[in-house]
Chain A
Amino acid sequence: MIGRIVSGQRLRLAVVAGMTLVAAACTTTPERVAELDEARTTVESLESQPKARSAASSQLANARQALQRAEAAFEEGQPLEQIRHEAYVARRHAEIGLEMTSEAEAAEEIQQGEARRKQVQLEARTAEAERAQRLAEQRASQAQQSAREAVASQSVAEAAISEANRLADELNALEGELEAEQTNRGLVLTLGDVLFDTGGAELKEGAEVSINRLAAFLNENPERRLLIEGHTDSRGTDDFNKELSAKRADAVAEALVERGIPSERLRSVGLGEDYPVAGNDSAAGMQQNRRVEIVVSNDDGTFPASAEERAIAARD
């Protein structure tokens, strides 16, 4: 019994010694490998980034796998060059992942910046519009006042009425400028992609104001119709972009129908990436290209020929 235990211990000793010899033949593995420590730290720092999983998932997976290989090589006493190599691979993957995560954060900041820029413009326009409205109302009431005072004189009354009409026209023109941009396709209003989730076609709450304004405009101008065009940037396949842009355009049309606009007055088309307004080689350019453009019809409900051409092209 005792003899068996002793021989068992001896055997174990021999096995350990043998393994040590084999390892020593390759190279002696030190207690610590600095590169392995660095790799662990860098991989941990990538793992601690909340965005890493979405922005750099494959780098994260590659870094973890390489780190496991490095740890295993270290445990098994494999050659130092092998441990260092795997540790290096793990660290580089983690570093690439960190860069990609930071780039994704910058891209998000750009998106928020676009929204902020639009907000600043909107505030400025609203202030300007209110001032213009006050001024026009003031002048209109002055004109009405003069008209009443000049009841005895027909010619003066007529002049006052024509002045009031002129002011009304001015107001309308002002409103047109505020809402839209005049292009060769007629009046065009652009909604940026901040109104949609990335890759999604549901309108965000922030779109409420723009949609309400649009509905109010359509109610005030019952003879006008809208051509709603969805556009994307050049990322993704043509088919995907066509479909996404069509869904986004549909979402805008549906929101207007919900506000009581008859669907016959609305046409929506998905134009995909075919009509960029900026280069697709920068994040800012792509941001500008992801948009919904709304073309306002002529007052007889028809669209300018160049707008029709696009809508027909979209059906092919």
Chain B
Amino acid sequence: MNQAGAASAAKIFLVWAPLVAVAGCASSPDRPFQDLARAEASIEQADQSGAREFGADELDAAKAKLAKARAAADSDDNLEASRYAREAALDAELATAMARNRKAELAVEELNKGIETLRQEIARNQARSGERQ
């Protein structure tokens, strides 16, 4: 190969390499309908399972991310839209899990309180009927 040939080959490489590299990063997938739908469903479920009371921060984060996901999808940034939507769904699912856990813990407290009341009542009753005899 002569020197001129080598130089033009190098030029071609320099022009194409960055383009190939950029293409490697930003593929352009379709609008992530499924991810968006799952995020919407998870947020609705969280709303219904009392997450507004027991997982408010996570629920707010989910809603904010869903809005960002929609905006990204509208400007055709579908990879980013998919990430935001998936994170929104997980935020909402965490909010739901927190609400369920907190409710179960409250039920435990309630039950223990009930047992204590019962025990005191029985002790009082027995003391009273003991006096009668």
* Chain A positions near chain B (C-beta within 8 angstroms): 21-22, 25-26, 79, 81, 85, 88-89, 92-93, 95-96, 99-100, 102-103, 106-107, 109-110, 113-114, 116-117, 120-121, 124, 127-128, 131, 135, 282-284
Cα separation A81 to B82 with both chains bound (whole Å): 12
A110 touches B93 (CB 8 A): no
Among B18, B24, B87, contact of A92 (Cβ-Cβ < 8 Å): B87
CB nearest to A92 among chain B residues: B90
> Within 8 Å CB of B100, what residues of A?
99-100, 103
B133 touches A88 (CB 8 A): no
Cα separation A110 to B90 with both chains bound (whole Å): 28
> Within 8 Å CB of A81, what residues of B?
80, 83
What size tier do the contact residues of chain B reach?
A: 35 or more
In the complex, what's the smallest C-beta–C-beta distance from B6 to chain A, in angstroms? 15
Cα separation A81 to B107 with both chains bound (whole Å): 41
Q: Which of B83, B86, B97, B133 has the most CB of A within 10 A?
A: B97
In the complex, what's the smallest C-beta–C-beta distance from A174 to chain B, in angstroms? 13
A284 touches B90 (CB 8 A): no
> Within 8 Å CB of B91, what residues of A?
92
Cα separation A95 to B125 with both chains bound (whole Å): 47
In the complex, what's the smallest C-beta–C-beta distance from A252 to chain B, in angstroms? 26
B129 interface hit (Cβ, 8 Å): yes
- With A26-B25, A100-B101, A117-B118 already in contact, the answer to whether A282 and B107 are too (CB < 8 A) is yes
CB nearest to B24 among chain A residues: A22
Q: Is chain A's binding surface mostly helix, strand, loop or mixed?
A: helix
B22 interface hit (Cβ, 8 Å): yes
B15 interface hit (Cβ, 8 Å): no
> Within 8 Å CB of B9, what residues of A?
none
Cα separation A102 to B99 with both chains bound (whole Å): 12
B41 interface hit (Cβ, 8 Å): no
CB nearest to A95 among chain B residues: B94
Among A96, A117, A282, A283, contact of B94 (Cβ-Cβ < 8 Å): A96
In the complex, what's the smallest C-beta–C-beta distance from B81 to chain A, in angstroms? 12
> Within 8 Å CB of A102, what residues of B?
101, 104-105
> Within 8 Å CB of B111, what residues of A?
109-110, 113-114, 117, 284
What would 5 more interface pairs be, CB under 8 Å, given A89-B90, A100-B101, A117-B118?
A22-B21, A103-B100, A106-B104, A124-B122, A284-B110
> Within 8 Å CB of A95, what residues of B?
94, 97
> Within 8 Å CB of A103, what residues of B?
97, 100-101, 104
Encoded as 1 (CB less than 8 Å from any A CB) or 0, chain B from 111 to 132 comes to: 1101100110010011001000
B21 touches A26 (CB 8 A): yes
> Within 8 Å CB of B122, what residues of A?
120-121, 124
Q: Which of B17, B110, B115 has the most CB of A within 10 A?
A: B115
B59 interface hit (Cβ, 8 Å): no
A99 touches B101 (CB 8 A): yes
> Within 8 Å CB of B43, what residues of A?
none
> Within 8 Å CB of B103, what residues of A?
282
B105 touches A106 (CB 8 A): yes
> Within 8 Å CB of B22, what residues of A?
25
Q: Which of A22, A88, A106, A282 has the most CB of B within 10 A?
A: A106
